[in-house]
Amino acid sequence: MSLKKIHRFMLAAVTTIFAANCAAAKRIDAAEFNSVDQLQRPANLDEWIFVGAIVGHGYPNGDARHFSAASPGRIQVVQMEPRAYRYLQQHGEYADGTMLALSFYATQENPAPVVDGVVQGELASFEIHLLDKQQYADRSAFYSFSSDGSAASMIPAGNNCVACHREDGAFDGTFVQFYPSLRQRLLQRAVQAEAL
């Protein structure tokens, strides 16, 4: 084999390896599914990165708002799987396989000691938003878990979750406008992308 052919072969091999590594880097394989295609509850959910919280938000019809201090409703906490969070911080975009968890907590009615404000109570339920354009036509899939659920089926395609996230999510179908740690960086990037 001539030196020129060896050089071409080596260049092709390096290019192939580099392309494979780039493709692999854009994917986070943290989601685990059981034999009936249900998403398994992540074992390390308590280690996920906090990105935001909302007190009293519900799913009102139209413009109706029902929050009151006397009846604050649920506390919603949003967290992101750690590897997906690091990828987002480094690249400014979501990798396929990114998972965000939205946990719904009750509020404590009689905290001790008595405090002003609202105190987070027990976990009532949680949802996982899985972003993966290779797997889902809308890129988004939602899984709703009970507080002690070990697995959840995907909410059927065409659901209100996907429609709302696509219409009102400020960045790639997610509500980063409510996540202080991500808001400035990602919304600035979205504005720059629209200007191009």
pTM of the model: 0.78
Amino acid of residue 30? A
Per-position pLDDT tens, the chain of length 196: 554 544 344 334 333 333 333 444 589 999 999 999 999 999 999 999 999 998 887 665 556 666 676 777 788 999 999 999 999 999 999 999 999 999 999 888 788 888 888 888 899 999 999 999 998 888 899 999 999 999 999 999 888 888 888 888 888 889 889 988 888 878 777 666 666 6
Asked if residues 178 and 54 have their Cβ atoms less than 8 Å apart, the reply is yes
45 to each of 57, 90, 99, 195, how far by Cα in Å? 22, 22, 11, 37
Range of the domain at 191: 31-195
Query: Is 17 inside any structural domain?
Result: no
Res 192: pLDDT? 67
| Domain total in the chain | 1
Query: Is 87 inside any structural domain?
Result: yes
Gap between the Cα atoms of 135 and 140, Å rounded: 9
CATH code for the domain of 129:
3.50.70.20
